[in-house]
A = this chain, B = another copy of it.
Amino acid sequence: MPAPSSNSTANALRRVYRPRKPPSTMPVSPSNAADSAPEIDTSYLETLLGYNARRTALAVIAVFLRRMEPHGMRPVDFSVLSVVAHNPGVTSRQICSTLDILPPNLVGMVKSLQKRGLILRKPHPTDRRAQGLHLSAAGQRLYREAQATATSLELDVADRLSAEELQTLIGLLRKVYRRDAPVASEPQSG
């Protein structure tokens, strides 16, 4: 059982990142059925928002898993910690509806983060059924590090985009999935 550490060296991740194609030192290629076939045409799929959004998400997640390995955090753990960090006293139900996680699936995550000493539960001020979630001091330290890592890795993944392009991209994505959001046509400012 890993004790909660104040640095980022502990807690090996359960799922280890491993590249699917081990880099062969030299392309010897004894024979490959795709030798003559020049390339696969995916031009139609690449016109689809869903296809491109999913491929992009998976590309970011792959880098996320590698870089967050020292912090022992999957994307969902990071999201939960982020919501707790920025909303002290938030309840499990609120996290579920915010992140679109089903309540039974959140239980284990919260339990695990609590066991690692990263979050605390306190009685809810007005509702005795609910519990308010808070980051511990160790949780705050780890989350601070993880957030810096996340911000940095995102810039690396998107290094083909200018800062302005990245802002445009994120703004357009939000416009698609946040159908509750205001329809303001302002340029992005955060």
Can you pick out 16 interface pairs between chain A and chain B where the beta carbons lie within 8 Å of each other? A31-B127, A33-B129, A34-B93, A34-B94, A40-B83, A40-B90, A40-B98, A42-B86, A49-B154, A52-B177, A54-B60, A56-B176, A57-B57, A157-B176, A160-B175, A161-B175
List A residues at the B interface (Cβ < 8 Å): 20, 31, 33-34, 36-37, 40-61, 64, 75, 79, 82-83, 86-87, 90-91, 93-95, 98, 100, 102, 124, 126-127, 129-130, 147, 150-151, 154, 157-158, 160-161, 165-166, 168-170, 172-179, 183, 190
In the complex, how many angstroms separate the beta carbon of A41 from the nearest chain B beta carbon?
5
How many copies the complex holds: the figure is 2
- Using CB atoms, name the residue of chain B closest to A51: B79
